[in-house]
């Protein structure tokens, strides 16, 4: 049986096995998909073991998206632009093909939710691999401005410079954030760790939308902050998760699954686990 995994640390929370098994059943594909926890200092070794044991491909999540870039033999245009990888495929010649489906998944979900992007002021929290993966697709939607902020401001500045040629992108220090935004996206891993970012209420106006790329059984700390600011349009990253997974599945199997029934089943599953 063709074997796939999702690699991360932590990884116990991941719903990717449920999603990909649902895709497989829906499309008649025979495969297995499991979680794989790797130590923070041995991504390359753990991945090599998986491939040696006959692995066909994997998804890569926090904090290994840049590690995956380093081990890849062939990069897609999306992976090169993002300098981060969330999908690896073992080719017939044994070489690792790397892609980044995060941005496609995010934009797909925002459009599904009816969130406008063109002409909007967007704030992106975080400057790691997750942020790099979505910058290109967000700028392709022609926002009025895309502002990047991060705890380490130099990383936000570097990211803004890297994507400056693709659209109106700039940076602000986290401690000095100012102005109101139409859409605020959290790409940091703070929600995974139960941490709460210190953000001013002035970032929100009466119709601000917020989107946390993370998800959980309960509202994330970021979404709780947004609720306290009176934001009514609050979304977690479940739709993005299913969207990027569908792109990965298509890359591996050559079949594009339907997202909506899987998303509904996953939401129901999380509700039962509350």
33 annotated among ligand-binding-site residues: no
102 annotated among ligand-binding-site residues: yes
151 annotated among ligand-binding-site residues: yes
Give dist(CA 35, CA 16) in Å, integer: 8
226 annotated among ligand-binding-site residues: no
14 annotated among ligand-binding-site residues: yes
Active-site residue, selected from the candidate residues 65, 89, 111, 217: 65
171 annotated among ligand-binding-site residues: no
55 annotated among ligand-binding-site residues: no
22 annotated among ligand-binding-site residues: no
The Cβ of residue 42 has, within 10 Å, a number of other Cβ atoms equal to 12
Per the DSSP assignment, residues forming a β-bridge with 57 are 4, 89
Give dist(CA 240, CA 16) in Å, integer: 12
61 annotated among ligand-binding-site residues: yes
Give dist(CA 163, CA 149) in Å, integer: 14
Half-sphere exposure (Cβ direction) of 62: Cα atoms closer than 13 Å? 19
187 annotated among ligand-binding-site residues: no
In sequence order, the 6+-apart residues with CB closer than 8 A to the CB of 24 are 30, 31, 33
Q: Are 117 and 183 in contact (CB under 8 A)?
A: yes
Q: Is 65 known to be catalytic?
A: yes
The Cβ of residue 53 has, within 10 Å, a number of other Cβ atoms equal to 8
Which residues are known catalytic residues? 65
Binding site, residues?
A: 14-16, 61, 77, 86, 102, 126-130, 150-155, 213, 215, 237, 244
Binding site for shikimate, residues?
A: 14-16, 61, 86, 102, 215, 244
Binding site for NADP(+), residues?
A: 77, 126-130, 150-155, 213, 237
């Amino acid at each position: 049986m063709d074997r796939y995994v999702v690699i991360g640390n932590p990884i116990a929370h991941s719903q990717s096995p449920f999603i990909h098994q649902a895709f497989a059943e829906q499309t008649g594909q025979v495969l297995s998909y499991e979680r794989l926890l790797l130590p923070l200092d041995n991504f390359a070794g753990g991945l090599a073991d998986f491939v040696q044991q006959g692995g066909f491909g994997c998804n890569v999540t926090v904090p290994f998206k840049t590690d995956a870039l380093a081990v890849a033999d062939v990069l897609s245009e999306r992976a090169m632009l993002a300098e981060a990888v969330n999908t690896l495929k073992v080719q017939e010649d044994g070489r690792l093909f790397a892609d980044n489906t995060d941005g496609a998944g995010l934009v797909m979900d925002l459009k599904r939710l009816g969130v406008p992007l063109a002409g909007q002021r967007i704030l992106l929290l975080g400057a790691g691999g997750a942020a790099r993966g979505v910058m290109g697709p967000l700028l392709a939607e022609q926002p009025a401005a895309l502002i990047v902020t991060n705890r380490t401001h130099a990383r936000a500045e570097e990211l803004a410079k890297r994507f400056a040629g693709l659209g109106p992108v700039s940076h602000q220090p986290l401690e000095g954030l100012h102005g109101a935004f139409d859409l605020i996206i959290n790409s940091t891993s703070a929600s995974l760790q139960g941490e709460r970012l210190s953000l001013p209420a002035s970032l929100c106006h009466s119709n601000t939308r917020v989107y946390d790329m993370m998800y959980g059984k309960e509202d994330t700390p970021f979404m709780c902050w947004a609720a306290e600011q009176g934001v009514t349009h609050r979304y977690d990253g479940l739709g993005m998760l299913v969207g990027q997974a569908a792109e990965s599945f298509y890359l591996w199997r050559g079949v594009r699954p339907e997202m909506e029934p899987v998303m509904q089943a996953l939401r129901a599953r999380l509700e039962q686990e509350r």
